[in-house]
Structures are given as structure tokens and as C-alpha cells.
Amino acid sequence: MFRVPVLPLALLCVLMTAAGQLVLKRAVSVPELTQLLHAGEGAAFLGRALASPAVLVGLGLYAVATLGWLIVLGRADVSYAFPLVSIGFVVTALFASIWLGESISAARATGIALIAVGVVLVART
């Protein structure tokens, strides 16, 4: 049986989670849904959002990432694996800037850089 090393599997799971987050954000940022939120129609918002194919794709990415993460946790110390989740902050911020047009302030960029340095230190142990 093929055995994937822990670090690449953990990184794949983190990337799928980040992708899921970006897809969900894009899916619920359409005017017909944001209008429901601004009108205080939370239940209608959720109902329509859950009927969206893009939301289902985002949730599917989360589900597959979670299944992979179970394997990671079964094979690695949680004190090693969980800090790798922080890579998701870096990836999500970068792609939110590129794909969603979100701005990254200097303070936010500094925080993201500090997170990245911390992840490198954890991954090397």
C-alpha cells in the first residue's frame, strides 16, 4: 500500500482548506445573498447559500481535507501537525488578495510573514 509522507499530506489538507475558504467567500459574496444578510434574513441566506453549487464545492473541499487530516493526526504528533495549519493563513491571505481583490495592509503582511517563519521552524523539527 502506498504511504504518503505526513508533511506533504498535511500541506495538501491545509491547501484544500484554504481553497474551500476562498470558494465559500466567493460563493456567498454575490449580491442576492449579501442583500439577505443586510436585511437580517439569516435563515434565508443560509438556505440559498446551501443550495449554491459553489458552496457545496467549498464544503466538499473542507470534508476531503478533514478526512486527510485524520490520517495526518494518526501519524504525527499534534504539536507538529497543528502548527502547519497556520500555512492556511498565509495561502488564504495571498490568494484572497489575488483572486478576491482584498487588500493586505503592512501590519497584516508583517503578521503573515511572522506566521510563515513560525511554520518553517515547526516543520524543521
Number of domains within the chain: 1
Among residues 42, 21, 22, 45, the alpha carbon closest in space to that of 32 is found at 45
Cell 443550495 belongs to residue: 51
What is the C-alpha separation between 29 and 81, in angstroms, rounded? 32
- What's the predicted TM-score (pTM) here? 0.84
Domain residues for 47?
6-123
Is 75 within a domain?
yes
Is 1 within a domain?
no
Q: What is the pLDDT of residues 73-109, one digit of tens each?
A: 999 999 888 888 888 988 999 999 999 999 999 999 9
Alpha helices, H only, 30-84: 31-38, 42-50, 53-75, 78-84
Residues 109/116/62/102 CA torsion (nearest 10 deg): 10
Is 58 within a domain?
yes
Q: What is the pLDDT of residues 10-25, one digit of tens each?
A: 999 999 999 999 999 9
